[in-house]
A and B are shown apart, each in its own frame.
Chain A
Amino acid sequence: MRRSKYEKPAPRTGGGAKTSAMVASLAAPGQRTKPAPFGNALVELAKSRPDIVGLSADLAKYTDLHIFAQAYPERFYQMGMAEQLLMSAAAGLAREGFTPIATTYAVFAARRAYDFICLAIAEENLNVKIACALPGLTTGYGPSHQATEDLAIFRGMPNLTILDPCDAHELEQVVPAMVAHQGPVYLRLLRGNVPLVLDEYGYTFAWGKAQTIRDGRDVLVISSGLMTMRALEVAQELERDRIDVAVLHVPTIKPLDAETILREAGRGGRLVVVAENHSVVGGLGEAVASLLLRTGTVPPGFRQIGLPDAFLDAGALPTLHERYGISTQAMARSIRGWL
């Protein structure tokens, strides 16, 4: 519960460096990262794909599209802080045979430009790739920037493929895959120095496929995006308590890989925990829940780890992830409590 704005907080004594809203990295201290995997992968791909053009709504620098803009200035369109125009113009360019990559923040695409994505792009199945930074809770700026419901908003849109990659390794592979796909795509983009995790697991992204990253007997975590990274950390931590955690990574939120999810959830005996960097309303958790219910697949338990159905606080990202239960420690605590 947020304090009244008329109540003065206690004076701070140190710790400023850790509690600043400027602390916005997803990487833990010392974790391996890769800079701007999206921008760099796009530049590489664009060498052989002259149809690729980049558009931004005054956020190229903050979506790593500036790297593309620098490499191909004549293929970059600055559309201004005008997200409705961004999406309409992308639709127009797609009509003329180009493959526009439209970037902004997830909040602005989902909340402000929805009608334009829906009618100008998705209804006609146009080849526009919408890549949006700050998905879910990946900034401490508060609700104006936290796209905690972007999946809920976009899952209802026909024709739209929704991708939520985990790390830099996957993001690099997602870029050529989404461009190769014919049709609109919404990509939850991780920007800046992005953690590098899945290369250690010998993982390769496959379009539309959920994949088991590690197996385990006691708990099946079904996760997407950065929560797969957290789930893998949780699995290591719970190993010490002799709790065996499997992690099924679902980078394609829509269309959902029902076959793999049902096979894994139906293997029996395992608590199913769906973990997502998104509100518990309308995201991967509810998508999996309805799939299980529709097919009569009944695991011994079903739980969700996700953000509460609330407007979230401003603050430092580590503080907020802990507060809302999606930090590694908070997630481990939750799972222990459910067993």
Chain B
Amino acid sequence: MDTLLDVRPRAGTNVSLSERAYRIRRHALLMGEVQGQGYIAQALGISDVLAVSYFHAMTYRPEDPEWEGRDRFLLSIGHYAIALYAALIEAGIIPEDEIASYGSDDSRLPMSGMAAYTPGMEITGGSLGHGLGIAVGIALGLKRKSSGAFVYNLFSDGELDEGSTWEAAMSAAGFGLDNLIGLVDVNGMQADGPSRGVLNFEPLAPKFEAFGWFVQRVDGNDIDALVQAFDAARAHPGPCPRVVICDTKMAKGVPFLEARERNHFLRVEADEWRQALAVLDEGRPQ
């Protein structure tokens, strides 16, 4: 690895969340470069949420990804795998040297996330609208076992189009699943264009409120706001599921990619990856 790629955490255990987010973005860009294209804008957008999830909110053991006491993190949006791999690498669950295998034959890091392939990947996502229903079952199961673990389900604004999401939303409240935390990535972009033009889901917070959830809506790229929201979601005393609606910016952290209009599946020129890494490094938290 050249020096550009070899960026170590600055401090031992006391690494800031913004440094974690920066490094998650960096891992994701390096994976994106392997394939030359992909869901890199989503990954950059959701990195702050992942940093707060894995380095502030969640309990887990990197050396034992299936430890019974862990908080479960479900990636309903299978195509965000590149983002979750980056977080799992940063969390020490996947070795960093597997970055080069991303999306290639026999890799543990396929383009769409699957439980059987990757340590730390709890479910097979990708057929959208599955995660929240599975989370309901896991939350019910955790309660049956008197486990204190939480189940987080990361889903997207696009998945709000799926009826199954709302079946699960109604059910989670009906069962009083206070151990379920939904994280909605509202990045405003779907395969065919801006989300609200594809199928308008707004007003979103009142919808979840009407379904009986404890709802918070935050800037999903504001780490302090996320920390507060995650803390409040976990501490909320009500016997109801919790959702943190995270408004994120596609390609956050790399302005020239943020500016691209059609960025659901980004094609990035070979030389632009290094440019993107350089821009990201410039903005590295001090």
A residues with CB within 8 A of B: 53, 77, 79-80, 82, 84-85, 87-98, 100, 115-116, 118-120, 123-124
Are A93 and B141 in touch, CB under 8 angstroms? Answer: yes
Q: Which of B164-202 contact A (CB under 8 A)?
A: 164, 167-168, 170-171, 174-175
Which label, helix, strand, loop or mixed, suits the secondary structure of the A interface? helix
Q: Which of B132-160 contact A (CB under 8 A)?
A: 132-142, 144-145
What residues of B have a CB within 8 angstroms of the CB of A77 in the complex? 140, 175
Are B167 and A84 in touch, CB under 8 angstroms? Answer: yes
- A sample of 10 inter-chain contacts (CB < 8 A) reads A77-B175, A92-B139, A93-B144, A95-B137, A96-B141, A98-B141, A118-B127, A120-B130, A123-B114, A124-B124
- Is B163 interfacial (CB-CB < 8 Å)? yes
B residues with CB within 8 A of A: 114-116, 122-124, 126-127, 129-130, 132-142, 144-145, 163-164, 167-168, 170-171, 174-175
Are A95 and B167 in touch, CB under 8 angstroms? Answer: no
Are B170 and A120 in touch, CB under 8 angstroms? Answer: no
Instruction: Please report the C-alpha to C-alpha distance between residue A119 and residue B114 in the assembled complex, in whole angstroms.
Output: 10
Instruction: Please report the C-alpha to C-alpha distance between residue A91 and residue B133 in the assembled complex, in whole angstroms.
Output: 9
What residues of A have a CB within 8 angstroms of the CB of B134 in the complex? 88-89, 91-92, 95, 120
Contacts A88-B137, A89-B133, A92-B136 hold; do A80 and B164 have CB atoms under 8 A apart?
no
Are A95 and B138 in touch, CB under 8 angstroms? Answer: yes
Nearest CB of chain B from residue A11's CB, rounded to whole Å: 44
Instruction: Please report the C-alpha to C-alpha distance between residue A149 and residue B137 in the assembled complex, in whole angstroms.
Output: 29
Are B144 and A96 in touch, CB under 8 angstroms? Answer: yes
Instruction: Please report the C-alpha to C-alpha distance between residue A119 and residue B175 in the assembled complex, in whole angstroms.
Output: 24
What residues of B have a CB within 8 angstroms of the CB of A94 in the complex? 137
Residue of A nearest to B133 (CB): A88
Query: Which residue, of A84, A94, A116, A123, has the highest number of chain B Cβ atoms within 10 A?
Result: A84
What residues of B have a CB within 8 angstroms of the CB of A118 in the complex? 127
Instruction: Please report the C-alpha to C-alpha distance between residue A286 and residue B141 in the assembled complex, in whole angstroms.
Output: 40
Contacts A88-B136, A88-B164 hold; do A116 and B130 have CB atoms under 8 A apart?
yes
What residues of B have a CB within 8 angstroms of the CB of A85 in the complex? 133, 136, 164, 167-168, 171
Give the contacting residue for B116; candidates A80, A92, A95, A124; CB below 8 A: A124
Residue of B nearest to A125 (CB): B116
What residues of A have a CB within 8 angstroms of the CB of B123 in the complex? 91, 95, 120, 124
Contacts A88-B136, A89-B136, A91-B134 hold; do A80 and B141 have CB atoms under 8 A apart?
no
Going nearest first, the 7 A-B pairs with the smallest beta carbon separation are: A92-B137, A88-B133, A96-B141, A89-B137, A82-B167, A84-B164, A92-B138
Instruction: Please report the C-alpha to C-alpha distance between residue A85 and residue B177 in the assembled complex, in whole angstroms.
Output: 15
Nearest CB of chain B from residue A317's CB, rounded to whole Å: 32
Are A115 and B127 in touch, CB under 8 angstroms? Answer: yes
Contacts A116-B130, A119-B130 hold; do A92 and B164 have CB atoms under 8 A apart?
no
Residue of A nearest to B142 (CB): A96
Are B140 and A89 in touch, CB under 8 angstroms? Answer: yes
Instruction: Please report the C-alpha to C-alpha distance between residue A82 and residue B164 in the assembled complex, in whole angstroms.
Output: 8
What residues of A have a CB within 8 angstroms of the CB of B115 in the complex? 124
Instruction: Please report the C-alpha to C-alpha distance between residue A124 and residue B174 in the assembled complex, in whole angstroms.
Output: 27
Nearest CB of chain B from residue A182's CB, rounded to whole Å: 15
What residues of A have a CB within 8 angstroms of the CB of B144 in the complex? 53, 93, 96, 98
Nearest CB of chain A from residue B147's CB, rounded to whole Å: 8
Residue of A nearest to B141 (CB): A96
Give the contacting residue for A91; candidates B126, B137, B145; CB below 8 A: B137
Instruction: Please report the C-alpha to C-alpha distance between residue A89 and residue B130 in the assembled complex, in whole angstroms.
Output: 9
Instruction: Please report the C-alpha to C-alpha distance between residue A119 and residue B130 in the assembled complex, in whole angstroms.
Output: 9
Instruction: Please report the C-alpha to C-alpha distance between residue A120 and residue B164 in the assembled complex, in whole angstroms.
Output: 13
